[in-house]
Structure 1
């Protein structure tokens, strides 16, 4: 009988000790839950930034790959460049980066121009232009204006070409882009030359020449010297 009582007492003590341990664990649970929930909240708060950063990095990679392919210049590489640029474009738009979007649109325009699809080139340049204006990128705006001028020039619309070159020129001067200024001056000279106004052409070539020398653009200098000789 004593043995039975001793066993019962031991059993009771065992259950009591485990009951206390279980109660302690239950008391800790709210704290554990709060900690885990807190980690989730912190993770959720960080997720948009992490996602945005990831998309931005992916956009930069796609754009850089597009640039690399475009510079190869082959028809196949140019078509592949468009795919990469379009990929970058979606990502720039997803993160709301209008500057990156504008640069990519301008680059797609360059590709279509190289492929001979002037209307498509114009379409992309005309999408890039208002974005560059909206973000205050005057250097980029000048570049796109000059590119539009080149397309109109190649299409034979000389007056439209002049209009865009003349919009680009003061912007290039305003941002101190002497290389770009020389390019646009030379382009204006080419238009006047094609219109038969040789004196006006010479005037612009002679403005371009010292700038090309000043920036050390020997290739551009040779081009302008050749134009003057013509």
Structure 2
């Protein structure tokens, strides 16, 4: 016997009942300073549920149908739902081989999808937070906060260290130039020990000191 198709009101009531019973997770991922952050995966899940309900009782080919299930890799922090993919396919963030980035403010596209009042409030009260990213370890603790600001001829990358020891591996044109100069100055100082005059020794020493000072100046953070 064919099933009578559900009406729009019946579909809405069914979806609402499932959402309020925590079946499938909440649409809201978090509340960021009063602004709701929507969980895109949950939205896709509930849209799929509504489509399935609408298809009931209709003579529609099942070519595109799949067994009713939550999206692959879906996890709901609020209700604790988690599928096998989330527990077996560990990411570099899970294993600790990469620190996970966590932005202080919503993305630009997210901001422009917010109501104007919410966007204006975030801009007014959190302007200095824009562009700042925490890098977190697997326990959720920030190891460093990083952000970039423009200069007259480029950018300055700011790195604020937190509790964990932090080493800096930088691949920068300016830093390579300075280290090459410093290496040449050191070699010149070593050769000066065989020089015929003390003036050559002093000149080589001063060159090495100047090169070291240039490196220190490049690595010293600007006064904020």
- The question of a shared fold, defined as TM-score above 0.5 by the shorter chain, is answered with no
Higher fraction of strand:
2
The TM tier, using the shorter chain, reads under 0.3
TM-score (norm 1): 0.25
TM-score (norm 2): 0.26
